[in-house]
Amino acid sequence: MIRFLRKSFRTRLLLGFLAAALLPLILSSLVINSVFLNRQEMREQAEADEQLAGVIREISRMEDSIVSAGERLSAEPRILAALKRDPLEGGDETAVYGALYEATQDLRLYASCDLYDASGRWRYSTGSTADVKPLPLNWGILNHAAKAEKPVWETGETVTDLSRPLLKAAVPVAGDGGYLVVSFYADQLRSLLGGIYGAGEELLLLDRFWRPIYCDKPELAVSLGPKLRSFFLAHGSLDHLSDGFLYSAAMHADSGMVAVLQRPQFFTRETLSLFRTITGAAVFLGFCLTLALGFLLIRSLMQPLDRLRNAMNSVTLDHLDVQVEAGEDELGELAGRFNRMTEALRTSRQQLLRNQELMVQNQKDLNKTQIRMLQAQLNPHFLCNTLDTMKWMGKINQVPEVAVMSTDLADILRFAISPEEFVTLKRELEILDRYLEIQRIRQSGRLEFRKEIPEELLPARVPKMILQPLVENAVLHGLDNAENGEICVRAERVPDPERPGEELLSVTVRDNGKGLPPELTGPYRRPEGEAAKHHLGLYNVDTILKKHYGERFGLTMENAPSEEEGGAVITAELPLTLEPKGEDPLFGGSA
């Protein structure tokens, strides 16, 4: 498939149109649907959380009312006296009930209140039917109430028995004076909690162990309670319990009771299917429109390209006279350029034929030049052999100066014509000694030469023949007409200002002559006119350094800072590179 797409631009273009049109449509539909569904779920979840918060507030209000009623009863002397009095003894029962009704006025609207004495016997009640059975003190709700600081809650035995309380709470009255037991029946819990949640929703009240306490539909509580408990223990929440309903839960911190709200799903399978159908229809319609428009556009685009492709095939067959019809749009501009290209190719081919004739002639001239160069290479060897002959003739005729000068000149000549471009600084100084030995003979010892070269810099690699032209310039120009000429060659390490951590080799040639005119000081600049003929050596050395190392390297020309010393100072700077220990390939000496 990929191989087919690579070969067909038309197919890639059509698929690109489809992707450009359908992908935004599909993505936007998915995003809109997702955003709409998420916002609706968030809104419903917020409503459910608000409703559950109302349920938790009602339970907290019940708990506060029970605590308040217990405190009022504990502060009522008539109640305390009645609870301590024997039931068979007479008393003002009307006053006792009046005090009981007054203390429990906040509870009587949705609960039944019963008073038990310290022995667990039932004594008084606000309900029409009272549970007159005594309650044990060593276990059960009274036992827990005696030890707790807050109301103690107890659930009924079954949620389906509406004749018995579904929920009880107990608090002690005046320490060991008795107990207040508040009972909640199904109709009372319905009147208390029924107005908090909406129609079509169901509220399940569960204890801390997720056992059902109350529900408008007791059968639903019996069947749904264990399912909720198992799912919560397995997953830690009720978010993904999918049975056509949505569930939200909230816990009352003090009592541990859990309120679960069951809501029908807003987006049913039918609603989601309708969303998918609408999205699919929009995508299909977009696909059809894109396909039709894509075919029309591709046809209008590919026809000029096909003509251009056929013309290019003709060019590959060397038919350079082919032309393509050019329109006014971008493809027409491309066809026009193709036509100009074929015209240029025709012209270039004609020019190439003419150039081939010139190349044949140039090759002949090149061969002649190479022959002359090979012949010229024989001359230096002839000169070296002649100088060797002069050396032995000087020794035979006892003219040592001729022998020394011949030997030195032969060494310099061999060094100059050697193929190596770089040598060690040590070897460069040896050749410089040969040159200065000749100059001393010429000038009858009036020239003094001094070297200040650290031992560790002798293996430094330098371009061949850079010191001799600098010293020769000092001899010919700096020491001209000087009686006691002096030349000093000095080498040192200097830090590279542009590359921290690297070093440069600085080689300085100083003489004690008349110095330089001001216009020649600074970085070396080749003189103009006739003066350029007298500084050819400096120009060559500066050019060699720049060619090898870059434009920031080269020669610098200054006058000596001390007036007593006088003279010119020429400095050459180049990167410091040390030759490994071994044999110098030029002369076989130690490097």
DSSP 85: S
Six-digit token string for 356: 């081939």
Q: What is the pLDDT of residues 23-46, one digit of tens each?
A: 777 787 777 777 777 887 788 888
User: Which range, 153-167, 264-278, 390-404, has the best average confidence (pLDDT)?
Assistant: 153-167
SS (H, E, C) 401-460: HHHHHHHHHHHHHHHHHCCCCEEEHHHHHHHHHHHHHHHHHHCCCCEEEEEECCHHHCCE
For domain 47-264, the question of CATH label 3.30.70.360 is answered with: no
CA distance 79 to 96: 6
CATH architecture under which domain 436-575 falls: 2-Layer Sandwich (3.30)
Spatial neighbors of 196 by CB under 8 A, at least 6 apart, are: 51, 54, 55, 58, 203
b/e map of 76-94 (b: 16 or more CB within 10 Å)? bebbbebbeeeeeeeeeee
Taking residues 514-521, report their average pLDDT. 84
Q: Would you give the end-to-end CA distance of the chain in angstroms?
A: 67
What pLDDT is stored for residue 590 in this prediction?
Answer: 36
Six-digit token string for 152: 């103690």
Res. 367 pLDDT band, cuts 50 70 90: low
What pLDDT is stored for residue 381 in this prediction?
Answer: 44
What pLDDT is stored for residue 515 in this prediction?
Answer: 84
Res. 476 pLDDT band, cuts 50 70 90: confident
What pLDDT is stored for residue 556 in this prediction?
Answer: 92
Q: What is the pLDDT of residues 171-195, one digit of tens each?
A: 999 766 789 999 999 888 888 888 8
Taking residues 507-532, report their average pLDDT. 81
Spatial neighbors of 378 by CB under 8 A, at least 6 apart, are: none
DSSP 91: -
Would you say the CATH fold of 436-575 matches that of 47-264? no
User: Which range, 90-99, 314-323, 374-383, 572-581, has the best average confidence (pLDDT)?
Assistant: 572-581
CA distance 437 to 452: 18
- Map out the domains of the chain as residue ranges: 47-264, 436-575
CA distance 126 to 65: 15
> For the chain, how many residues are written?
591
